[in-house]
């Protein structure tokens, strides 16, 4: 019988497992030198004692946005005698204005960060701390669109520089959603005065170099071959150039090999890990979508299963859907759930967001196909996507993709 002592023995596969984590920040970030330089240039005034510039960073998940921001924060901490102070905040965890302020206070004034203070008290403490010796706060808000009272937070943070006499705040916002700013009040939006930086997906050869460096340190010698690394890189590139996905596959491959008492990762483990990691990534991605984006995606899934009006339009296999059909189905589902459907303008934004996330593809039709319209194609298997959405929307687990009314009348 296997004992606990046997289980916690030395690994045959892993050397430094933490190096393979998506949350690990390596000493050097390859293929992101230009992006790092742009972040550095945005905060350069802060490092020179001036008020910093605001910067907003966009890009799909797994394109290195968070890693680059963390990398620059680590650089700031290593600069001697600088007035700049940095706070990195994951807004998925700290998702209100109060929690963000409390996290900043906890980072720099831990003795003050305790229960009993309101947002106004925290704000006054923060501005006083900045002014007392001309500090510049570099504030990184990762997944900034997850903040529930974002409009208030942005308005307050961008007004600090105008209210304090010395010091200032440089705001760096990170988001997967380009259009989230459109939800902000015009006053907050005008106060941002931001620069924008877009992170493009990685290519297959870039992902290969990234995971090769991680694998060299993370695995023991001989635990993984170049062929396996190329396979994993190609799989991640196919799913939209997601380096995070490649690291999940890499780690899962090692875990499977270790569970099977192997000393080397084979193609069997790599192929199984691709399927597992893809499923996990899609679930995480769909779960993070705002409610109405989920409803739009659900409408696409239902129409894809029923065929829509145009079937086998190009290659005899794929189903393409009219944008107008999707919007009408979305309205029906929203109303069935007693939600107020969003306007067509918002619907178009949702389609753009879903496309950027790699969940759908869209293109303009040629003239003559019911006028000049946009055609939509789902990029993930309908049955699996439907099951994930129904679990999120309706709170049911339905792997077979049936059992929930198409018109969204389940309540």
- Range 33-199: architecture per CATH: 3-Layer(aba) Sandwich (3.40)
How does DSSP classify residue 116?
Answer: T
Chain position carrying tokens 């929307």:
393
- Range 4-17+203-286: architecture per CATH: Orthogonal Bundle (1.10)
b/e map 356-365, b = 16+ CB within 10 Å: bbbbbebeeb
Q: Looking at 60-180, which runs of residues are DSSP E strands?
A: 84-90, 136-142, 168-175
CB-CB neighbours of 79 under 10 Å: 10
Q: How many CA atoms, within 13 angstroms, populate the side-chain half-sphere of residue 196?
A: 10
Burial of 271 (C-beta count, 10 Å sphere; 0-12/13-18/19+)? middle
C-beta separation of 41 from 228 below 8 A? no
In angstroms, the Cα distances linking 207 to 21, 204, 225, 233 are 15, 5, 15, 5
> What's the pLDDT at 344?
93
Domain boundaries, the chain: 4-17+203-286, 33-199, 289-393
Helix (H) or strand (E) holding 130: helix 119-132
Write the CATH number of the domain with boundaries 289-393: 1.10.10.10
Cα dihedral across residues 95, 96, 100, 105: positive or negative = negative
Instruction: List per-residue pLDDT tens for the chain, 411 residues long.
Output: 556 555 566 788 999 999 999 889 898 899 999 999 999 999 888 888 777 678 999 888 889 999 999 999 999 999 988 889 999 999 989 999 999 999 999 999 988 866 678 889 999 999 999 999 999 999 999 999 889 898 899 888 888 888 888 888 999 999 987 777 777 788 777 767 678 899 999 999 999 999 999 999 999 999 999 999 999 999 999 878 899 999 999 999 999 999 999 999 999 999 999 989 877 877 888 888 889 999 999 999 999 988 766 544 544 556 789 999 999 999 999 999 999 999 999 999 899 889 877 789 888 765 555 555 789 999 888 888 999 999 989 886 554 444 344 443 333
d(CA 104, CA 89) in angstroms, rounded, equals 8
In angstroms, the Cα distances linking 51 to 44, 136, 197 are 9, 7, 19
Question: What six digits make up the tokens of 41?
Answer: 């240039």
C-beta separation of 351 from 327 below 8 A? no
d(CA 101, CA 93) in angstroms, rounded, equals 13
Contacts of 170 (CB under 8 A, 6+ apart): 42, 43, 45, 46, 51, 52, 53, 54, 55, 136, 137, 138, 139
């Amino acid at each position: 019988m296997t004992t606990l002592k046997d289980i916690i023995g030395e690994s045959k596969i892993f050397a430094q497992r933490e190096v393979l984590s998506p949350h690990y920040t390596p000493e050097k970030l390859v293929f992101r030198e230009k992006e790092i330089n742009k972040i550095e240039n945005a905060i350069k005034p802060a490092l020179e004692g001036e008020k910093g510039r605001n910067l907003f960073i966009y890009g799909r998940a797994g394109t290195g946005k968070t890693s680059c921001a963390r990398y620059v924060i680590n650089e700031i901490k290593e600069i001697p005698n600088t007035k700049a102070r940095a706070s990195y905040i994951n807004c998925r965890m700290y998702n209100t204005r109060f929690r963000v302020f409390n996290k900043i206070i906890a980072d720099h004034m831990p003795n003050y960060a305790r229960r009993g203070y309101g947002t106004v008290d925290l704000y006054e403490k923060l501005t006083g701390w900045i002014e007392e010796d001309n500090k510049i706060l570099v504030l990184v808000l990762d997944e900034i669109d997850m903040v529930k009272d974002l409009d208030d937070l942005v308005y307050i943070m961008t007004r600090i520089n105008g209210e304090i006499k010395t010091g200032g705040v440089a705001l760096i916002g990170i988001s997967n959603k380009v259009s989230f700013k459109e939800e902000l009040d015009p006053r907050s939006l005008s106060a941002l005065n931001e620069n924008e930086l877009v992170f493009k997906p990685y290519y297959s050869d870039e992902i290969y170099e990234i995971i090769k460096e991680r694998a060299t340190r993370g695995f023991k010698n001989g635990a993984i071959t170049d062929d396996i690394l190329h396979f994993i890189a190609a799989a991640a590139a196919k799913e939209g150039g997601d380096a995070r996905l490649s690291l999940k596959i890499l780690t899962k491959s090692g875990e499977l090999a270790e569970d099977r008492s192997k000393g080397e990762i084979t193609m069997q483990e790599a192929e199984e890990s691709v399927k597992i990691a893809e499923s996990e990534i899609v679930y995480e991605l769909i779960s993070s979508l705002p409610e109405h984006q989920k409803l739009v995606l659900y409408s696409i899934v239902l129409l894809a299963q029923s065929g829509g009006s145009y079937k086998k339009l190009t290659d005899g296999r794929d189903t393409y859907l009219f944008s107008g059909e999707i919007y009408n189905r979305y309205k029906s589902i929203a109303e069935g759930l007693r939600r107020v459907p969003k306007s067509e303008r918002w619907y178009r934004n949702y389609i753009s967001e879903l496309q950027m996330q790699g969940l759908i593809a869209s293109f303009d039709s040629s003239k003559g196909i019911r006028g000049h319209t946009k055609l939509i194609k789902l990029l993930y298997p309908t049955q699996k996507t439907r099951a994930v959405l129904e679990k999120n929307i309706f709170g049911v687990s339905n792997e077979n993709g049936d059992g929930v009314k198409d018109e969204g009348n389940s309540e």
